[in-house]
Each structure stands twice: as structure tokens, then as C-alpha cells.
Amino acid sequence: MINILISTGGSGGHVIPATIFYEHLKKDFNIFLSSDNRGVEFLNKDKFNIEIINVPKISKNIFLLPFQIFSIFFLTLKSIFLLKKKKIEIIISTGGYMSLPLCIASKILNLKLFLFEPNMVLGRSNSLFISSCKKIFCYSENIKNFPKKFKKNISVIPTLLRKEFYSSKIINDIDDEIRLLVIGGSQGAQIFDTIIKDSALELSKKYRLKIFHQTSNENFDNLKNFYSKNNIENELFNFNDNILKFMSKSNICITRAGASTLAELVFLNLAHITIPLPSAKDNHQFENALFYQNKGCNWIINQNETNKKNLTEKLFNIIENKSEYSDKKKNMKNFNYQNTWNNINQKIITIINEN
């Protein structure tokens, strides 16, 4: 069997797709997974065959540049040794600076390299290897900053979802209770712990409300006390908890615009307001949200325009405008009609075998 190494790390946005590729390929290939120390926090060490390539976060401090160059050089040598030891023939990179040493090593050893770009903007690390990769898996052909001369390298696939999502039966229409889900992503979202709780308080004065709120351990007690004090039924959780469990209970969501989270919400037809992270590189979260908004699947509010008043008004408008709410759910369903585990599985394996 062919040996494949999937490179990932950093945030959940990189790690989750890597684990999905792992599940799609494990029956047909020998699969290894590499990650930095940050990414390991999102991985089940007993389930995956993990190799550690701990790439330090790249700093903009020019005085640290020599140390960073040396670090990348050293880790590239370590990657070459790992690839030879494991007899790796194919590398799949899920992007990010964490994959730089392994991608460089793949070029030195003349191995087959496949890239994955889930965002609607080409990532900077992926852009370095777009000319030498066999294919880059994307959700659309219209990726911003993508060089036209390498468009032929794009292989469009349906959005990647964890296998358990396909067997979920979810009914999440708005009925006599508002079940609000708040998702801040693996990086956390301080604004979600402040403005949203005030909007939730206003909702609770008019509707039966239950809130499912993803938050950090540092903010857990403060949020818990606030909701309890105001008699708002709540469940708090962190990024590593089973998000599907909370999505399946909800009928409206406020979220960041990470590619994996949006793919999951749209697949489940869960109506959602996106507040993209404004500091995301190349504004890729806004482009992710805009991709789905153009297909009639969500609402977008810019963070710098978000306050208690307009967020509360948007929530009330969605709840009371049932026709627009229904249209969004219908559009999401239409978007995913071909997204099945088997369809994606066959397409990924075919692309790899043909290249």
C-alpha cells in the first residue's frame, strides 16, 4: 500500500479537515499524520498515528528572522529524515506555516504533494507550493488571489464533514422555543462572551430561550453566573466538546466564519448569523461567509459594526420573519444535495490515484 502523510497543526480549522482526509483514505492507504504541539491538543492520540514536527509560530519581528530561518532549515532536515524513515510517497498539506518544512522536504525528495484550501482566499503557505503540487482540493474554482496559470491544479470537492454528520437526523426549525447556539471557534472570541450575552437577555424577555455557548475556560464561570442570574437556561462548552450534539439541539446560530464550521452549519441546514474574525489573514473569514451568503445560506454582520442593539434587532427579525428563515434553510439544503460521504470518498481517492 502507498504511504501517505497528512500535514496539519495550529488551529482546529486545520486539524479537523486533516482528520477527515485520514478517515477517507485509511482503508486504501497507509496513513500518517503530522502536527505541531498546538494541533495535538485537537487530536485523539489513541486514534491517529501522529508524528510531531513542532514548527514555531512565525513572528513579524525582523530581529527573529535568522532564528526562524534556522528553525525552518532544521525542521526541514527532520522532515526529510521522517519521510525517508516512513517511506512516504505522498504528502497532503492542510495549509498553514506548520506544513512548511514538510512541503519543502517533499520538493527536495521529489514526492507527490497535494494541497487543501478550504477558504475562499488562497493561503500564503499554499501559495508557495501551488506551482509544484499535483492538485489542490478546494470548495470552489473562484478562490481569491489564486494565480490564473495554475487554475488547472484545482480539484473542486464538496465540503469536508466528519462522518458522524452524515448520519444525523436533525429537526431545527424555530418553534415555541429559541435554541441559540454560539460558536467562537478554536481561537475563542471575546466579543461573543460580551455582546451576545446581552442580546440573549433581551431575547429571553420575549421568548422561551435556551442558549448553547462555546467559550473558553477563563470565561466559563462569568458566563455561567450571568445566565443563571437572569434565569436563562444554558449549556456551556469548549471547542473540544462534541459540536454536533449542540448543533442538533439548536434552531439558530451565531458563529465565526471558519471554513469547517460553516460547512457543518450549512450541511445541517442550521440558520446562522456570521460575524467574521476581522483579523483573519487576508480577510479570509469574511470571504468564506460571503461565499455562502451569495448562495442565500446565511446572514453576515461585520464585527466593527456589531453592538447589542443591531445584533438583537437582527435576531428578532430572523425569528419573526419565518419566510426568510425558511428560504435560508431551503438554500442550504439545495447546496448540499450531492454531498455524501461516498461521493467525496470516491472523488478524493480517484484524484490521488490519477496523479
Together in a domain, 281 and 295: yes
Together in a domain, 259 and 124: no
Match 482503508 to its residue by C-alpha cell.
27
Q: Provide the residue range defining the domain that includes 172.
A: 165-335
Question: How are strands ordered across the β-sheet holding 177-183?
Answer: 233-237, 208-214, 177-183, 252-255, 272-274, 299-300
Together in a domain, 125 and 150: yes
Q: Contact 173/270 with Cβ under 8 angstroms? A: no
Number of domains composing the chain: 2
Together in a domain, 120 and 86: yes
Burial 10-49 (b: 16+ CB within 10 A, else e): bbbbbbbbbbbbbbbbeeebbbbbbbbebbbebbeeeebe
Whether the model clears a pTM of 0.85, i.e. scores above it, the answer is yes
Cα–Cα distance list, 284 to 61, 117, 293 (Å): 23, 11, 14
Together in a domain, 228 and 156: no
Together in a domain, 101 and 88: yes
Together in a domain, 194 and 146: no
Together in a domain, 283 and 171: yes
> Rounded to an integer, what is the distance from CA 136 to the centroid of its chain?
17
| H-run or E-run covering 156 | strand 154-156
**How high is the pLDDT of residue 61?**
67
pLDDT 10s per residue in the chain (355 long)?
899 999 998 888 889 999 999 999 999 999 999 998 888 888 887 788 888 888 877 666 666 667 777 888 999 999 999 999 999 999 999 988 889 999 999 999 999 999 999 999 999 999 999 999 999 999 999 999 999 999 999 999 999 999 999 987 677 788 789 999 999 865 556 677 778 888 999 999 999 999 999 988 888 888 899 999 999 999 999 877 789 999 999 999 999 999 999 999 999 999 999 999 888 888 999 999 999 999 999 999 998 888 888 899 999 999 998 899 999 999 999 998 889 999 999 999 999 999 8
Together in a domain, 150 and 197: no
Together in a domain, 128 and 226: no
Q: Contact 136/126 with Cβ under 8 angstroms? A: yes
DSSP summary character for residue 268: T
Taking the C-alpha atoms of residue 44 and residue 48, their distance in angstroms, rounded to an integer, is 6
Domain with residue 199: its CATH number is 3.40.50.2000
Together in a domain, 70 and 88: yes
HSE, side-chain direction, 13 A CA sphere, residue 220: 8
The crossing angle, in degrees rounded to 10, of helices 217-229 and 195-204 is 20
Together in a domain, 256 and 188: yes
Sorted by sequence, the CB contacts under 8 Å of residue 16 that are 6+ apart come out as: 42, 162, 260
- Stated length of the chain: 355
